[in-house]
Amino acid sequence: MKARQAAYATLNGVINQHRTLNTLIAQHKSHTAPADQALYQALVYGTLRQYRAYSHLCAQMMTKPPARPGHPLAIILNLGLCQLLTMNLGDHGVINETVNLAAHNGQIRAKGLINAILRRVQREREHWQHALTAAQTHNLPHWLCPHYPAENAAIAAVNTLPPPLTLRLHSRHDRAAWLAEHPEAHANPLHPQAVTLHQGSNVAHIPGFRDGDTSVQDASAQHAATILAPRDGEHILDACAAPGGKTCHLLELAPNAHITALDHDDARLARVKENLDRLQQQATLSHADAADTAAWWDDTPFDAILLDAPCSGSGVLRRHPDIAWLRTVADLHRLPGQQRHLLNCLWPTLKPGGRLLYTTCSILPAENQDNIRAFLATHPDARLQPLDLPACRDTGYGSLHLPDADGDGFYYALLYKSV
């Protein structure tokens, strides 16, 4: 399958069939020639991140725009706009290949229209590039916009870009000395162990990855282990552990801690094992639902718990742009209740004097500070510890990092249990 046809099929799968990018990319990439796979992924992510903005531009050039966002004509035009406005592929080939997509996807009668719109964009490229920048807030899902009106433009701009490829440098290394030997990276200001590569790289080529010197982990996520501050000898629960980045970080900071890594997804738990093996670390792995404590807990209380709760992923839209299309109103109502249920179930497993860190990669208040406010109101033995984290805001009930050039959107609330 050619890259553009594979990209069309993937976008159609997300928008019209409500399938995840992970599933679709695994399916279509395997049927794309190896030489075309990088272009295929660039087309998918580049188009989906700004899909609604591209549609907004098309509507200005058409007397009768497609009636629905997933119409084949809309997908084809948006793929073409993505290439002409954000990629350097050669205009003639882009226009011809995009017009040819029409013939392959039931839009033969629209070939002339597609050609006319793309040639207009080619002639007026600078104008439409400025228009695309001005339209970026159209890409934000309707359920996110009301929460950060003053920051919407900045959030939308960040979400149009590929996410940074950030590594966690093993704590045995001095970051300045390591960076002096690796000019392909720079210090990330969000965390003292974080280094960000100047450009993306295959995992096999990431410096120090195979030797355990580095691990791929967003700088915002790296705060979780350092906030929990594990100590040797402690019994610690990582309640939703997969894929294991935080489990491994906890063990880097406290190699002799006794960590139970729990996850309900057996396949994802296998990735925790892979990460532990690469770093030559040991943890107890348990395939279970964290909320069903009767099924896995032996009544020995934990000194510390990390609860990186399942969430909407609203802080990682640039990594998973399909979230903007797949999250439903029902999801957004269900998730806060599920998160509170996990908190309520895990709290009795924490010993008096112990600490629980609640985190999400969401920036929605209902999943973050609203949950912690409700939890504190019903648990008089819980105390919230204020945090001082770079580039974070105090919500009154935990700290929030909005997505920026250095890190993903992330939320943290550290709770202590009374003795």
- Coil, strand or helix at 122: helix
Contacts of 188 (CB under 8 A, 6+ apart): 164, 166, 194, 195, 196, 219, 406, 407
Give the residue from 223, 276, 332, 8 showing the smallest Cα distance to 261. 276
Beta strands in 264-349 (DSSP E): 284-287, 302-308
Our answer to whether residue 345 is catalytic in this structure is: no
Question: Which H helix or E strand runs over 23?
Answer: helix 21-29
Instruction: Note whether 148 and 403 are within 8 A (CB).
Output: no
Strand partners, 355: 304, 416
Instruction: Note whether 78 and 47 are within 8 A (CB).
Output: yes
**Residue 233: what residue type?**
G
Which one-letter DSSP state was computed for residue 62? -
- Coil, strand or helix at 180: helix
What does the angle CA 115 – CA 162 – CA 31 come to, to the nearest 5 degrees? 65
- Coil, strand or helix at 181: helix
Judged on CB neighbours under 10 Å (0-12, 13-18, 19+), 202 is: exposed
Question: Which H helix or E strand runs over 357?
Answer: strand 350-360
Give the residue from 8, 25, 28 showing the smallest Cα distance to 107. 8
Contacts of 16 (CB under 8 A, 6+ apart): 70
Distance between CA atoms of residues 281 and 125, nearest Å: 53
Distance between CA atoms of residues 162 and 154, nearest Å: 15
Q: How far is CA 295 from CA 64, 258, 343, in A?
A: 58, 19, 17
Residue corresponding to tokens 């992970």 = 22
Length of the chain: 419
Catalytic residue, from 248, 311, 361, 392: name it.
Answer: 361
What's the first-to-final CA gap in the chain, in angstroms?
A: 63
Question: Could you give the residue numbers annotated as active site?
Answer: 361
